[in-house]
Amino acid sequence: MKKSVKIIGVPMDLGAGRRGVDMGPSAIRIAGVNQAIALQGFAVADAGNVHVHPPEAMTATNPRAHYLKEIAEASEELAQMVEAALVEGAIPVILGGDHSIAIGSVAGVASYYQKQNQKIGIVWLDAHTDVNTPDSTPSGNIHGMPLAALLGRGAKELTEVAGFAPKVLPENTVIIGARSIDPPERELLKALNIRVITMSEMDERGMADVIQEAAALAANGTVGFHVTMDMDFIDPFYAPGVGTPERGGATYRESHLAMEKLADTGKVLSIEITEVNPLYDTSNQTGTLAVELILSALGKKIL
Ligand SMILES: [Mn+2]
């Protein structure tokens, strides 16, 4: 019997520079995510959305970490919803929202497994490496900081979500698809010895090979891993509706293969899609692709 899936929406754009990714969960739901997952034989329930205030409702922002307090609050609520889904025995599928939501998602997964004395890994599919901190950030946008926060670096409000840090160890963290890295991020990645599989390496070795390596690292000594996909991992030709497009990303088939190979490992604990921005999309093609990739990550096969 297949497991159940719990959908959790996070209409968050406080962590982004460009507005509009707060509409991502709507776009993915309108593309039919709930029905499509149910057609794969899963019991699907939708937990609704985390509460996120619009920026218009707020005044003061911290220039080194915009909307720090509000993002930390939403992260705590998200962490509780994700943990509750796991307690029920469901696979959490989190719909973003800018990538700062990973702080809460991973906190929830890590908290659930920590109580069983188990560690988790992360597979981070992204054009960027998201390891800035309030000290290093060029923009002050928190969607460039979530992976650093999960590794225990940066603002305490973010590192301490769910009451403990770090959420994941560097040796169980793998970034795939990187092609735009800030100089201070390079230093932190080197200092922590994080495995970064760049687009160049992916081009040379092929997706299947790099996914095998990434999954092995993320699963080494852990119960399994959280899969978080920033839709800018994919080339803007296939996924134009994203917060921060970068040329030279994964193709349509490569992005499917990545999710299919991750699902094949049987180690996927939770799935997250971030940075869908309907304002820059055409006929919701990026929202539709997000639905397809969620299905692949849940184990959908061509044959
Ligand atoms: Mn990202």
Decide which of 3.30.70.20, 3.20.20.210, 3.30.365.10, 3.40.800.10 is the CATH code for 4-297.
3.40.800.10
Mean pLDDT (10-residue bins), the chain, 303 residues: 90 94 98 98 98 86 92 98 98 98 98 98 98 97 98 98 98 98 97 98 98 98 98 98 96 98 98 98 98 97 85
Q: What is the pTM of this model?
A: 0.98
246 is catalytic: no
* 103 alpha carbon – ligand 1 mean position (Å): 11
* 179 alpha carbon – ligand 1 mean position (Å): 12
pLDDT of residue 175: 98
- How many angstroms separate the CA atoms of 182 and 159, rounded? 21
182 is catalytic: no
| Alpha-helical runs (H) found in the chain | 24-30, 33-39, 68-87, 102-114, 146-150, 156-159, 183-192, 199-205, 207-219, 252-264, 285-297
pLDDT of residue 303: 83
In 3-state terms, what secondary structure has residue 252?
Answer: helix
275 is catalytic: yes
* 129 alpha carbon – ligand 1 mean position (Å): 7
Are 298 and 40 spatial neighbours (Cβ–Cβ below 8 Å)? yes
pLDDT of residue 226: 98
Residues with CB under 5 A from ligand 1 (ion): 99, 126, 130, 230
Angle between helices 252-264 and 285-297 (to 10 degrees): 30
* 84 alpha carbon – ligand 1 mean position (Å): 25
- From the list 99, 185, 246, 272, the catalytic residue is 99
- From the list 83, 126, 254, 281, the catalytic residue is 126
226 is catalytic: no
135 is catalytic: no
53 is catalytic: no
Delimit the domains of the chain by residue range: 4-297
51 is catalytic: no
pLDDT of residue 61: 76
Q: For residue range 144-171, list pLDDT tens digits in order.
A: 999 999 999 999 999 999 999 999 999 9
